[in-house]
């Protein structure tokens, strides 16, 4: 571990000033950043610890029913917040399907948004990785890439963004509030992560020193609250990243879909909002045929980036299921195995 | 290390003996309160921290290390490389002793696998050592890594496993196949798996002149003491290994490895205590693993579904420079009745760290393939898989015809099937769904594990106050040796376990042998049992010869030892306490030794195995191919059960391991570089609680008068065997898909 400065600023302004200098990184709970520092994949010269910044660990509600979630709100606190569960159940379900209780208790929302890819070649400094070292090449391209991207990838990088909650958030039109050296701005979450193109190292739209202070969910996003699910395919029943995941929300007018929200996880370098599928869904009858057409639309551009053609078919089936589950209605009690096709034994309340 | 006062023992009602009682772990309280000291918890004065730099290529040479940069880093004290590595008394390229492996201790600049140590950095802090190692920035002359069937070199091995023959034939398989009404043949593939003990390999080494103290997790204390002594040119007796607790071993801590040797060498060279702890990633290379196999099973069957021939061939991967071949094919030698059985193993050399024994070596991967093949055979014969196994039940040991010392496998099948609810299982696949529409399948596998014993010694001392001290260099990897060995000793001494102080876990005690092969309880237990009995025999002599004792003259009729008193066998009312006997004889104590000893004739004439049957229910999402082992029921017969609580937890652990084998575990090596790309516990998947929602382990009573005087067999590894096949078979029953490559992946089951 190399020597680095550790700074614990008292205000956001101080934090931004410190982080604007080259070689700096914000440190939230560190559950991702510290792991990367241990392998050497990240070697910041200055850690700016933001965990003590005031006011960023709150959830505030607008009169219209929108939520403003501070960047330091812990994953567990957010998932178990009763009002969040009521208004944005797919956000809670996505959070609870991720990582482990211990990690969720520590990890922050801002950190979850900005966690890096799980591509093993990105973690491994002996591998060539354009994302970590621009121009080096991409060892995943011909390597272990069963779980890599099927949408939006480029020859330069086929990595996926691993977050679960981002998938639900992007489906719900979340907005990211940012403060930086040049002042405050906000962007849709959908615009936060960038597709790799020729410059996979440019992972996000953030400029140096920019700090995420909050994520806002607009009141309209609650329209799908009674028909919203997050569903996640993974290789063990809990404590695994998504092979593919989907957030689905329906606002119904009788049996017709008034409004639909659909996003995919584990498929691209960003949480993937499936707008083409939403267009298919909106105004159509909420039935299996519509869902199948929506799935086709969502994956029209999909292509394998390696040994992962199965993920395309898997995503297609998952979309249909997630929409069907959403149609069936949001469960009153969040499932003990969140986002899982497996039911927990009756009476089990513990979240794995 | 002694656990005299550790945790008060729960007052279980005793019926003449403590054995058979579900006493909780004596070290449990120390562990749950964080007081148990593991190797890396030791911080002697003046400690230096050593970190290995490891290779990122799998084959070639290290051409440059930036030693100057590392040495210039603040806190770095020394960098050992092949250029300056102090000498060892033994050549690490030579195999020494029965468990000897060729080791990488910076003897030269070659690289033979990824994660091989290529330098050692010692520093005043762990951080400085880690950074120093990173600054070495190695340059290599790399050669193409040989990582698979395509580029590995096949060869005919001299042996498999630990000294088993590579080919064993009983009867004429070709004749058996010729006579068969039906042939079933299937190929299976099992991946490289790593032990991944929770506690990484660690050592804190301190030299005092030519005396060496090692705090390290170690599964074979006295044997290792000799081996370390030999490498450093000092007598084994000069080496003290302290290993009171291990955070798991599973076979990976019984064998010497390069990194630990280097840590000890650095301590001697620098004349300061040195601590070395492998990182999780560094455990994927120099400390063994379960090697990959490619297996082919060929079964000949007659019209009644009985085997006419059974052939099990395996291609087993090993390193380019040493041999440990997973003896998977041998799993078919003892399982089912067949007039002809052939097991054959071929080797495949790859640029990998040498594999080694990992929990149920051979039996785990071999039984996975055998049990799956048996299921395919049952299907081919149109038979229920349990009936099919019963039709091929071995009444005597296949091949040799020896009778079994005991074999309650039929009872295991029956009790397991009853508890599971096997009756009424549809023969054909894809017949069952649950309320949520998930496919449901049921499968069965037979479990089997041999009963090896290892030489072991123990000492028992009866003290003036009627309490006892018992000693053996036993090994508690979490399985419960602190508890069960003390129970056995207390029983032999006729004492409540609370009145027995048990010293263990240190190499200067009598040799308890290896904690491996599921033989530790039987082996060390026998030694303790005999030591205790020898003490009681001497005590009896004292009392019987003493006219003042109520036991005077009882020498011929004999006595029983119970609750700290000797009783005349023919008149229970005549008894005397141990303390009284010793006091009158004016003896402060009686000490006696005991060894593991068995009736050699019985060992030759009886076949000895633990047996079991595992029943699995899986649910499979029909669209997604996601699998969950929703119910596992195992019924096992393993002779006398000394502590049902501990035994059950061994079975649970084994069955969970089997679930991991079937559905989760695999090291993913990049086929170009040979580097393992998932060398951490986030991506190397083992089951979590949610993966094993329902587990049941049934202890089927079994009395064995021949296996050893205690009647104890092994329980530590058998739980894996049978479970893998049971789950794979259940997956087929749920989906109709035979997946013959482990672990089973979702894309294997997405067919429909
Ligand atoms: C074993 C394991 C399993 C996991 N499984 C899952 C899973 O199944 N699903 C899932 O979604 N996640 C999973 N995670 C990831 C986990 O959710 C993230 O590690 C966590 O959310 C990161 O939050 P943090 O506060 O620890 O961020 P940190 O590690 O502190 O930071 C992560 C990154 O974000 C930057 N950052 C943090 N906060 C801000 C801010 N406010 N403004 C600007 N930049 C910021 C940091 O500089 C850093 O680059 C898993 C993690 C582990 C270790
Ligand atoms: S896929 Fe992207 S992150 Fe992975 S190695 Fe290639 S460039 Fe790096």
> Is A138's C-beta closer than 6 angstroms to any atom of ligand 2?
yes
For residue B134, the distance in angstroms to the closest alpha carbon of chain A comes to 8
Structure tokens at B55: 């290779």
pLDDT band at B4 (very low <50, low <70, confident <90, very high): very low
Answer whether B210's CB lies under 8 Å from B234's CB: yes
Interatomic CA distance for residues B707 and B594, integer angstroms: 18
- Give pLDDT, residue B15: 38
Answer whether B297's CB lies under 8 Å from B344's CB: no
- Give pLDDT, residue B752: 54
* Residue located via tokens 């295991």: B412
* Residue located via tokens 């069937």: B149
A235 contact residues in B (CB cutoff 8 A): 664, 685, 745-746
Question: What's the mean pLDDT in B523-532?
Answer: 98
B586's CB contacts (< 8 A; 6+ apart) are none
Q: Is the pLDDT reported for residue B75 higher than 60?
A: yes
**Alpha carbon of residue B712 to chain centroid:** 17
Considering every ligand atom shown, identify the ligand nearest to the alpha carbon of residue B683 and give its number: 1
Interatomic CA distance for residues A170 and A151, integer angstroms: 16
* Residue located via tokens 């994949």: A41
The CATH code of domain A223-328 reads: 3.30.390.50
Collapsing DSSP to helix, strand or coil, B131 comes out as helix
Domains, chain B, in order of start with CATH, read 28-37+454-597 (3.30.365.10), 40-143+197-279 (3.30.365.10), 293-452+604-749 (3.30.365.10)
User: Residue B663: phi, psi to the nearest 5?
Assistant: -120, -15
- Give pLDDT, residue A343: 81
pLDDT tens for each residue of B348-407: 999 999 999 999 999 999 999 999 999 999 999 999 999 999 999 999 999 999 999 999
A139 Cα: distance to centroid of ligand 2 (angstroms): 7
* Residue located via tokens 């099937």: B417
- Give pLDDT, residue B14: 38
Answer whether B295's CB lies under 8 Å from B331's CB: no
Q: Is the pLDDT reported for residue A332 higher than 50?
A: yes
Question: What's the mean pLDDT in B709-731?
Answer: 97
Answer whether B132's CB lies under 8 Å from B297's CB: no
Q: Which atom of ligand 1 lies nearest, measured to the CA of A33?
A: 29
Lowest mean pLDDT among A49-58, A69-78, A246-255, A339-348: A339-348
Cβ of B94: how many Cβ atoms within 10 Å? 9
Structure tokens at B240: 């003290």
Collapsing DSSP to helix, strand or coil, B164 comes out as strand
Residue of A6, A9, A11, A31 to test ligand 1 pocket, by largest number of atoms within 8 Å of CB: A31
**How far from B142 is each of A59, A120, B110, B678, CA to CA, in Å?**
55, 21, 10, 22
pLDDT tens for each residue of B200-255: 999 999 999 999 999 999 999 999 999 999 999 999 999 999 999 999 999 999 99
Prior bond of B743 cis (ω within 30°)? yes
Average pLDDT, chain A: 96
B672 contact residues in A (CB cutoff 8 A): 139, 142-143
Answer whether B461's CB lies under 8 Å from B589's CB: yes
Strand segments, DSSP code E, in B290-407 are 293-301, 307-318, 341-349
Q: What's the pTM value of the predicted model, to 2 decimals?
A: 0.97
Interatomic CA distance for residues B3 and B57, integer angstroms: 46
Q: Is the pLDDT reported for residue B9 higher than 70?
A: no
Interatomic CA distance for residues B54 and B120, integer angstroms: 9
- Give pLDDT, residue B97: 81
Domain ranges in chain A?
223-328
Answer whether B471's CB lies under 8 Å from B637's CB: no
pLDDT tens for each residue of B454-512: 999 999 999 999 999 999 999 999 999 999 999 999 999 999 999 999 999 999 999 99
Answer whether A148's CB lies under 8 Å from A119's CB: yes
Interatomic CA distance for residues B527 and B543, integer angstroms: 24
Ligand 1, atom 28, lies closest to the CA of A30
**Closest chain B residue to A146 measured between Cα atoms?**
B747
Strand segments, DSSP code E, in B493-649 are 500-503, 559-562, 565-568, 575-577, 589-595, 609-620, 627-637
**How far from B372 is each of A168, B191, B469, CA to CA, in Å?**
41, 16, 49
Interface residue A198 vs chain B (CB under 8 A): no
pLDDT tens for each residue of B265-305: 999 999 999 999 999 999 999 999 999 999 999 999 999 99
pLDDT band at A351 (very low <50, low <70, confident <90, very high): low
Q: Is the pLDDT reported for residue A15 higher than 80?
A: yes
B687 contact residues in A (CB cutoff 8 A): 236
pLDDT band at B515 (very low <50, low <70, confident <90, very high): very high
> Is A269's C-beta closer than 6 angstroms to any atom of ligand 2?
no
Predicted-assembly ipTM surpassing the 0.90 threshold: yes
Report percent pLDDT > 70 for chain A: 97
* Contact between A234 and B668 using a beta-carbon 8 Å cutoff: no
- Give pLDDT, residue B415: 98
- Give pLDDT, residue A348: 57
Q: Which atom of ligand 1 lies nearest, measured to the CA of A164?
A: 11
* Contact between B438 and A341 using a beta-carbon 8 Å cutoff: yes
Structure tokens at B118: 């290529």
Answer whether B1's CB lies under 8 Å from B473's CB: no
Answer whether B472's CB lies under 8 Å from B524's CB: yes
DSSP B744: P
B262's CB contacts (< 8 A; 6+ apart) are B50, B52, B80, B105, B106, B117, B120, B276
* Contact between A235 and B127 using a beta-carbon 8 Å cutoff: no
pLDDT band at B22 (very low <50, low <70, confident <90, very high): confident
Interatomic CA distance for residues B145 and A342, integer angstroms: 41
Selection from B269, B135, B282, B272 nearest residue B202 by Cα: B282
* Residue located via tokens 């009476």: A347
């Amino acid at each position: 571990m190399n020597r680095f400065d550790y700074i614990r600023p008292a205000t956001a302004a101080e934090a931004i000033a410190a982080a604007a200098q080259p070689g700096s990184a914000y440190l939230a709970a560190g559950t991702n950043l510290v792991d990367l520092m241990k392998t050497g994949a990240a070697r910041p010269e200055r850690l700016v610890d933001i965990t003590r910044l005031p006011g960023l660990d709150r959830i505030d509600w607008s009169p219209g029913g929108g939520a403003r979630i501070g960047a330091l709100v812990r994953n567990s606190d957010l998932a178990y917040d009763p009002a969040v569960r009521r208004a944005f159940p797919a956000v809670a379900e996505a959070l609870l399907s991720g990582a482990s209780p211990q990690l969720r208790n520590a990890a922050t929302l801002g950190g979850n948004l900005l966690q890096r890819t799980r591509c093993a070649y990105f973690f491994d400094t002996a591998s060539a990785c354009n994302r970590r070292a621009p121009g080096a090449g991409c060892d995943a391209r011909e390597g272990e890439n069963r779980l890599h991207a099927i949408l939006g990838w480029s020859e330069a990088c086929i990595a996926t963004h691993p977050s679960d909650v981002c998938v639900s958030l992007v489906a719900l039109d979340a907005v990211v509030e940012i403060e930086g050296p040049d002042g405050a701005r906000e962007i849709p979450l959908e615009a936060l992560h960038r597709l790799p193109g020729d410059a996979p190292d440019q992972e996000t739209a953030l400029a140096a020193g920019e700090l995420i202070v909050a994520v806002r969910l607009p009141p309209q996003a609650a329209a799908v609250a009674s028909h919203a699910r997050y569903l996640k395919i993974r290789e063990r029943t809990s404590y695994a990243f998504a092979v593919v995941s989907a957030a689905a929300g329906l606002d119904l007018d009788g049996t017709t879909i008034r409004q639909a929200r659909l996003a995919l996880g584990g498929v691209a370098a960003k949480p993937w909002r499936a707008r083409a599928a939403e267009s298919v869904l909106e105004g159509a009858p909420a039935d299996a045929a519509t869902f199948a057409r929506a799935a086709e639309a969502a994956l029209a551009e999909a292509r394998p980036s390696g040994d992962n053609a199965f993920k395309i078919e898997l995503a297609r089936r998952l979309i249909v299921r997630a929409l069907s589950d959403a149609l069936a209605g949001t469960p009153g009690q969040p499932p003990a195995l969140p986002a899982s096709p497996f039911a927990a034994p009756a009476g089990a309340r513990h979240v794995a | 290390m002694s656990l005299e006062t550790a945790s008060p023992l729960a007052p279980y009602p005793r019926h003449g003996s403590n054995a058979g009682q579900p006493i909780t772990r004596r070290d449990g309280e120390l562990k749950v309160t964080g007081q148990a000291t593991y190797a890396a918890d030791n911080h002697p004065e003046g400690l230096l921290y050593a970190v290995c730099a490891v290779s990122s290529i799998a084959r070639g040479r290290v051409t440059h290390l930036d030693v100057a940069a590392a040495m210039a880093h603040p806190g770095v004290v020394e960098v050992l490389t092949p250029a300056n590595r102090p000498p060892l008394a033994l050549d690490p390229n030579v195999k020494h002793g029965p468990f000897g492996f060729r080791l990488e201790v910076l003897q030269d600049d070659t690289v033979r696998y990824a994660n091989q140590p290529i330098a050692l950095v010692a520093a005043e802090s762990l951080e400085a050592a880690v950074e120093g190692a990173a600054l070495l920035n190695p340059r290599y002359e790399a050669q193409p890594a040989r990582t698979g069937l395509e580029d590995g070199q096949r060869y005919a091995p001299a042996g498999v496993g630990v000294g088993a023959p590579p080919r064993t034939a009983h009867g004429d398989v070709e004749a058996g196949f010729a006579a068969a009404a039906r042939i079933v043949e299937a190929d299976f593939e099992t991946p490289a798996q790593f032990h991944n003990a929770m506690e990484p390999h660690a050592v804190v080494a301190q030299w005092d002149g030519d005396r060496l103290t090692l705090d390290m997790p170690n599964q074979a204390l006295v044997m290792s003491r000799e081996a370390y002594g030999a490498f450093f040119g000092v007598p084994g007796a000069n080496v003290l290994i302290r290993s009171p607790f291990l955070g798991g071993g599973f076979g990976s801590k019984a064998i010497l490895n390069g990194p630990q040797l280097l840590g000890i060498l650095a301590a001697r060279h620098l004349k300061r205590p040195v601590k070395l702890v492998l990182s999780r990633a560094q455990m994927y290379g120099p400390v063994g693993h379960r090697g990959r196999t490619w297996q082919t099973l060929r079964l000949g069957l007659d019209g009644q579904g009985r085997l006419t021939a059974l052939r099990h061939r395996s291609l087993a991967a090993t390193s380019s420079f040493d041999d440990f071949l997973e003896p998977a094919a041998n799993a078919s030698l003892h399982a089912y009745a067949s007039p002809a059985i052939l097991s054959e193993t071929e080797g495949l050399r790859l640029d990998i760290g040498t594999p080694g024994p990992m929990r149920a070596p051979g039996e785990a991967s071999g039984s996975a393939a055998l049990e799956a093949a048996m299921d395919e055979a049952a299907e081919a014969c149109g038979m229920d898989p349990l009936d099919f196994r019963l039709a091929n039940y071995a009444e005597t040991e296949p091949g040799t015809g020896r009778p079994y010392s005991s074999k309650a496998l039929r009872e295991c099948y029956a009790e397991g099937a009853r508890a599971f609810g096997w009756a009424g299982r549809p023969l054909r696949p894809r017949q069952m769904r649950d309320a949520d529409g998930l496919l449901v399948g049921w499968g069965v596998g037979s479990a089997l594990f041999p009963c090896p014993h290892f030489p072991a010694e123990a000492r028992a001392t009866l003290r003036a106050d009627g309490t006892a001290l018992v000693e053996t260099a036993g090994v508690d990897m979490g399985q419960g040796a602190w508890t069960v060995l003390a129970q056995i000793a207390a029983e032999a001494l006729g004492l409540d376990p609370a009145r027995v102080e048990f010293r263990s876990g240190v190499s200067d005690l009598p040799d308890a042998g290896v904690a491996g092969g599921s033989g530790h309880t039987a082996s060390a237990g026998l030694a303790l049992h005999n030591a205790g009995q020898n003490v009681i025999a001497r005590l009896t002599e004292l009392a019987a010869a003493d006219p003042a004792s109520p036991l005077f003259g009882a020498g011929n009729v004999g006595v029983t030892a119970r609750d700290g008193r000797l009783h005349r066998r023919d008149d229970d009312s005549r008894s005397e306490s141990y303390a009284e006997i010793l006091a009158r004889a004016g003896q402060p104590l009686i000490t006696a030794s005991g060894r593991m000893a068995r009736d050699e004739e019985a060992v030759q004439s009886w076949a000895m195995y633990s047996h079991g049957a595992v029943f699995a229910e899986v649910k499979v999402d029909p669209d997604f191919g996601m699998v969950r082992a929703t119910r596992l029921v195992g019924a096992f017969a393993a002779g006398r059960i000394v502590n049902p609580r501990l035994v059950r937890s061994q079975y649970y652990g084994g069955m969970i391991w089997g679930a991991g084998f079937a559905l989760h575990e695999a090291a993913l090596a990049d086929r170009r570089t040979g580097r393992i790309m998932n060398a951490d516990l986030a991506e190397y998947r083992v089951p979590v609680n949610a993966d094993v929602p329902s587990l049941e382990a049934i202890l089927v009573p079994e009395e064995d008068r021949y296996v050893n005087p205690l009647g104890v067999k092994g329980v530590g590894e058998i739980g894996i065997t049978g479970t893998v096949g049971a789950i794979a078979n259940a997956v087929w029953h749920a989906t109709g898909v035979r997946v013959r490559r482990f672990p089973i992946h979702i894309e294997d089951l997405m067919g429909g």
